[in-house]
Amino acid sequence: MAKNIINRGSTANDGTGDNLRLGAEKINSNFSEIYTALGDGTNISGIVKVADDSSTVSSISANGETLRILGGTGITSTISGNDLTLAVDSTIITGSSTTVLTNKTINGPDNTLTNIANSSLANSSITVSDGSNTSPINLGGTLNFAGTANEVNVVENAGTVTIGMPDNVVITGNLTVNGTQTTVNSSTIEITNSFTFEGSTSDNFETTLSVIDPTADRTVNLPNESGTVVLQTSSDTLTNKTLSDASITGSTGTINLTSTDNRIRSSYAGTGSLPSNTTYEGMFAWDSTGNNAYVADNAGWVKLVSENDSVGALSDVNISGVADGNGLIWSSAQGRFNAGSLPSTGFSIAMAVAL
């Protein structure tokens, strides 16, 4: 309600002002508003109530009590005339103040930090290390992940870096694989020099599987069998083996055959093709040109006499110049039988006839 003013007229008793009744009514209305504002409408309490942010209420008597407005930490209150001034010192952070924060926690989702230069940060870079070499990377800079040809592939997509092996991998150094099984799904494995097998015992002894430098493409097939590989210089017992078009060469060794139906062919075209008699002493050979059998002796190849040979084939029989009626006559001086005429009388005739 607006304040009611009693009209007193222009001059005393000029009849233009409010009458007594109307003036009393305005006075009552004004007091009713005051009593309602400062009390319960009937009585004035004389109490002023003040509440803080925590809803704590304090009552102050309007009859001479003083309401004090006090500053807190970093805040100073000052009254000058009708002015109440609240001021903050450097301990209070404002939008334009320059302040060093200590022991503060900034919640990322509730705050945004912008336009912070690297020079404004105590640590303006991160350090990247491979375990031996280190390099600083400025914040806001670019950290590159570089692969190596035929070794490591690096792919970046939408902020995700994927590091993997390419389809064709080249290992320039040593490759060590730990485990009980290594599976290689490949039709061809190319080894430049050799395989080395440690064996079940880790020691200073290994088995190396290597290859003689090939002069053409070669293929070595492993049989569909279980067993031990026979080596060129190893001592082994062969079982159920067939040697086809084979050449067995050696300065020592023994062929010991106890079964039947064994066959070893030893045929040569002429005696000039026979091998060394001293190297192969005791060897049997067949001269396919002269159709004669020979056996090697340290002194030479000895011709063997067959049932189809003449008696002259014997080394102690000389039938040179033999004629009809001749016989074989022993010559002790020559140590042989010679062909000649038989004696006509005496014991020698009887012996010749007996022969």
Nearest to 207 by CA among 183, 238, 234: 234
Distance from C-alpha of 57 to C-alpha of 305, rounded to nearest angstrom: 150
Q: What is the pLDDT of residue 215?
A: 93
Q: What is the pLDDT of residue 346?
A: 56
Q: What is the pLDDT of residue 354?
A: 45
Decide if 8 contacts 15 (C-beta within 8 A): no
- Torsion from C-alpha of 29, 31, 37, 43, nearest 10 degrees: -120
Nearest to 146 by CA among 125, 122, 130: 130
Q: What is the pLDDT of residue 130?
A: 85
Question: What residues contact 23, with CB distance under 8 A and at least 6 apart?
Answer: 6, 17
Q: What is the pLDDT of residue 7?
A: 76
Q: What is the pLDDT of residue 60?
A: 81
Partnered with residue 157 across adjacent β-strands are 160
pLDDT, averaged in runs of 10, over the chain (355 residues): 80 83 87 80 77 84 78 87 85 79 87 82 85 87 85 89 87 85 84 86 91 92 90 84 76 81 90 94 95 95 90 89 90 92 63 47
Partnered with residue 83 across adjacent β-strands are 80
DSSP assignment of 96-141 equals: T------S----GGG-------GGGSSS-EEEEE-SS-EEEEETTS
pTM above 0.85, yes or no: no
Q: Residue 345 is encoded by which pair of tokens? A: 């009388």
Distance from C-alpha of 84 to C-alpha of 78, rounded to nearest angstrom: 6
Distance from C-alpha of 355 to C-alpha of 347, rounded to nearest angstrom: 13
